Amino acid sequence: IVGLTLLVDQMNPAIMVKAHESWSNMSPTGAPALPPRKLSQTNRPQSVESIATRLQNPLQEPSCIEEAEWYWGDITRDEVQEKLTDMPDGTFLVRNASNKAGEYTLTLRKGGTNKLIKIYHKNEKFGFSEPYNFSSVIDLVNHYRKVSLSQYNATLDVKLLYPVSRFQQDEEFGTWKSLNVDVVWMRLIDLLKDILKKSISYEELSKEFQAAMADISAMRMGLQQYQEVNRMFEDQLRVHDKFLKKAERHEADNLVENIEIVKKRMKLLLDSKAVLEDKLYTQVAYSQTLEREMYQLKQEGAVVTRQKDKSVRWLLTHGVALDAINRLLNGTDWNTCKPEDIQLPLNLSHLDEGTWLLQSCSRADAERLLNGKRNGTFLIRPSRTGQSALSIVCNGVVNHCIVYRTPKGFGFAEPYNIYSSLKDLVMHYSQTSLEEHNDSLTTTLAYPVLATNDKK
């Protein structure tokens, strides 16, 4: 009994001191500061804001749904998918429901996917489910721009933040027709800087997140150790109680004293455990905030990347060489590269669809038209599959390729179906070889078949 008393008296203080010091050092001394939001709604990339409405009167409410920027009428589901692809959570639009019964469909971006929510209409009221409380779709949208949709569905913990405006033209550039190469070139540089900044911020957040997860793992291990030590103390108390019932008077006093020591150390242990649990709770909340920041930053980066890709396509269709654009994309000294140094003479015949787009041309007709033409002579025609087809001369032979039309755009194969029109595709491949899609097609779309300057 005396030996057991001495063992408890000698071992527990060392265990307690070591455990308390090591576990206390594993976690922050206080609640960690949460990182600031990287982009607020007011400085988010303009591609998710209404430009036209903001310029006219940002405070003016539409008097009817047809005037609302987020209302797209009879737009198809595929078109909605295209407009919301890679957009951040909270991006939304409203279209007519497919049943044509005076109802609507709200499409909302959440968790990287599109959520479709039916807006019902009954007794002059609108809503997602009964009872319908909104007098108009505008009132419903305005309500959920301020209040999370979790009121309606617990999994939709997001507000209607960013309307996809049907008034804006070609994202933040307004009307592309009024732009020149210098403006788009400088905008591309700004987008590249923004992408780099977001990439650096994402890396920093990722490191913080990994460190936070390591702390959480250490804290959970520490809590398990606390539980093991506490079980040891409980075992010791049971042993003491057992011997106390049989102990002589002079032994009982020592046992009672030692029981009190063990109980005090158990209280210290439980107090330390409670502190660690609080720190663990705070650290978990911090890691979740970091994770949300990382996800949001990734979404915003995707939006800026789409703007960059659109700028690149615009420059390619306006005579800027692909090699020059690649130097810009791959470099960091952006201010030393000027568009006037690398702009190529624009082949105006490519801009005239009538020189290469033949709507009534068959495969056999294409081969007759192209037979004997020089390499790079081409046309685009309908294919039997309902898509379009490119017919082009290479190495003296007429070759045929399907041009796919997808919700994301035109192209020869995924993930290159990104061109908003056949003209954009033609302008791009007028300067880029087709061999990236087919090793045997070592040519560009050089000569429209009906161009007046085409020669054999």
Which has more confidence, 219 or 240? 219
CATH ID of 50-167, from 3.40.1190.20, 1.10.3720.10, 3.40.50.2000, 3.30.505.10: 3.30.505.10
Second-level CATH architecture of 348-448: 2-Layer Sandwich (3.30)
Residue 392: the pLDDT is 95
What pTM was computed for the model? 0.45
* Cα gap 83→72, rounded to integer Å: 11
Residue 368: the pLDDT is 92
> pLDDT tens-digit profile of 305-338?
878 888 888 887 777 777 778 888 887 556 656 5
* CATH code for the domain defined by 2-33+183-316: 1.10.287.1490
> pLDDT tens-digit profile of 130-173?
888 899 999 999 999 999 998 888 888 899 988 988 776 444 44
* Cα gap 402→392, rounded to integer Å: 12
> pLDDT tens-digit profile of 189-233?
888 888 888 889 999 999 999 999 999 999 999 888 888 888 888
Residue 70: the pLDDT is 92
Q: Is the pLDDT of residue 16 over 60?
A: no
Q: Is the pLDDT of residue 360 over 70?
A: yes
Which has more confidence, 415 or 25? 415
- As annotated, the residues of the chain forming the CATH 1.10.287.1490 domain(s) are 2-33+183-316
Residue 12: the pLDDT is 39
Residue 333: the pLDDT is 56
Which has more confidence, 258 or 373? 373
- As annotated, the residues of the chain forming the CATH 3.30.505.10 domain(s) are 50-167, 348-448
Averaged pLDDT of the chain: 77
Which has more confidence, 42 or 410? 410
